[in-house]
């Protein structure tokens, strides 16, 4: 269940026609790793004598590292050793999720139902390919996806629409007939800019109202997403 306030959640409108494909974000959407990432970065920052406020980390969600490093450089100064910070935070993060990969409630049932319904499935993540494939393998999701687009596969990552446009092309689907499932404002912006129907399931970051309006529906959890999908896939 999302920790977003109820005020931002609205009931799903009538589901559109059967989607040509469904494309998922990974971290924070299918795998509950964002909180672990926040913990790893906060602990590492303290060990190195830095402060990493929660509101700063919230801005990292759905954004690739190069941009986040610029934020840290402005926060901590030009002499901060970001290579050391990233290496130590990554090592702690990997230890945490590999010990017991935290799958979002409802994720396995949702992906299995869509796969059994023969809906093409894509994954679109700001994680680099090697690490993304490892997480998906640990979660038991890897074989379910027909396309996996990672940070390693694009020039312009989220919030640019390129990752979602590449996903649709890989799946042979018209972006306008694709449904994207996202948790972050940046992911929502990317999928909406690609022309897709976006279901937003907020995780750590509650989107501003003007950003939330980009979503076709803002839903509390993946169980509700599954009910929405069931309606979209039901015979006319």
As annotated, the active-site residues are 25, 27
- 3-state helix/strand/coil string of the chain: CCCCCHHHCCCCCCCCCCCCEEEECCECCCECCHHHHHHHHHHHHHHCCCCCCHHHHHCCCCCCHHHHHHHHHHHHCCCCCHHHHHHHHHHHHHHHHHHCCCECCCHHHHHHHHHHCCCCEEEECCCCHHHHHHHHHHHCCHHHCCEEECHHHCCCCCCCCHHHHHHHHHHCCCHHHEEEEECCHHHHHHHHHCCCEEEECCCCCCCCHHHHCCCCEECCCHHHHHHHHHHHHCCC
């Amino acid at each position: 269940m999302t920790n977003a306030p109820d005020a931002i959640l609205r009931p799903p409108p009538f589901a559109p026609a059967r989607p040509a494909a469904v494309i998922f974000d990974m971290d924070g959407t299918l795998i509950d790793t964002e909180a672990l990432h926040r913990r790893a970065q906060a602990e590492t920052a303290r060990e190195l004598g830095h402060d990493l406020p929660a509101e700063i980390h919230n801005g990292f969600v759905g954004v690739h590292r190069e941009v986040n490093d610029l934020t840290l450089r402005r926060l901590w100064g030009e002499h901060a050793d970001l290579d050391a910070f990233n290496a130590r935070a990554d090592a702690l993060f990997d230890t945490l999720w590999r010990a017991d990969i935290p799958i979002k409630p409802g994720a396995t049932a949702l992906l299995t139902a869509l796969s059994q319904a023969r809906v093409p499935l894509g994954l679109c993540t700001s994680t680099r390919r090697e690490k993304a494939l490892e997480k998906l393998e640990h979660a038991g999701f890897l074989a379910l996806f027909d396309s996996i687009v990672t940070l390693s596969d694009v020039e312009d990552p989220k919030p640019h629409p390129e990752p979602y446009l590449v996903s649709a092309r890989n799946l042979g689907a018209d972006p306008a007939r694709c449904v994207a499932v996202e948790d972050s404002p940046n992911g929502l912006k990317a999928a909406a800019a690609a022309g897709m129907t976006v279901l937003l399931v907020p995780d750590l970051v509650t989107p501003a109202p003007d950003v939330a309006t980009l979503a076709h529906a803002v839903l509390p959890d993946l169980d509700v997403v599954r009910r929405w999908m069931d309606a979209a896939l039901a015979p006319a």
